[in-house]
Amino acid sequence: MPARPFSLLLLFSVFLAGCSDPPPAVKLEGDRAHLSGVWLYKKQDFGSDVAFDYRMLVLYPDGRAVYKRCSQAPGTSKSVNLGSAYISRLTDTELVLTTNLFVTTIETEFAIDRPAWQEGNDWFMALDGAAYRRLKPGEQTGHESWPCSDQQGSGNAI
C-alpha cells in the first residue's frame, strides 16, 4: 500500500515541474538585433507533379518566435505550426525553438547553414537548406492563403 502515495507524489511533482516558468528566452539584442522580423521561404515546382514548400519564421526582439511550415509533394505532405514558441538556443550553427505544452516540452532545431547576410536592401538567412528572406516592414506574408492553412486551424499565428 505505501507505493500508492509515493506514485501520487511523483505524479504531482512531474505536473508541478511542467507548470514551472520556462527558462528565459534568448533575446535578439546588440549584434543579433538584425535577426528580428518575419523570415519567409517559398518554393514551388509546377512540373509534372505540383509540389510546394512554404515556411515562415517570425523572431521577436524579446525572444518569442512563431514557425509555420506547409509543404506538399506527390504522396507526402507536412504541416507544422508553432504559434507560441521562444528561442531557447542560438549559436552560429543552430537555432532552437521551444514550445511548452502542459507537461511536455517540444524543441524544434534548425541548422544554420549560413548566418544572416545582406544583399542590397534585403536580408537572407539559410536554415536547414532553405534560404529565407526577411520581409520589409509592411510587406505581407500571405500565409493565410497557404494551401494547408485550413488543416492547421485559423493560420493566424502572427
Domain ranges, residue 51: 21-152
Is 5 part of a structural domain of the chain? no
CA dist., res. 134 & res. 138, Å (int): 12
Structural contact between residues 133 and 124, judged by C-beta atoms closer than 8 angstroms? yes
Is 157 part of a structural domain of the chain? no
Is 16 part of a structural domain of the chain? no
Is 37 part of a structural domain of the chain? yes
Is 11 part of a structural domain of the chain? no
Total number of domains constituting the chain: 1
Higher pLDDT: 56 or 48? It is 56
Overall pTM surpassing 0.85 (yes/no): no
pLDDT tens column, 87-146 = 999 999 999 999 988 788 899 999 999 999 999 999 999 999 999 999 999 999 888 888
Q: Domain with 118 in it: what CATH number?
A: 2.40.128
pLDDT tens column, 77-99 = 888 888 789 999 999 999 999 99
Q: What are phi and psi of 114, to 5 degrees?
A: -150, 125
Q: If we measure between CA atoms, which residue out of 89, 83, 88 comes closest to residue 66? A: 83
CA dist., res. 64 & res. 74, Å (int): 34
Quick one: cell of 124?
A: 537572407
pLDDT tens column, 62-71 = 999 999 999 9
Q: What are phi and psi of 14, to 5 degrees?
A: -65, -40
Is 62 part of a structural domain of the chain? yes
Q: How confident is the model at residue 20 (pLDDT cuts 50, 70, 90)?
A: low
Is 4 part of a structural domain of the chain? no
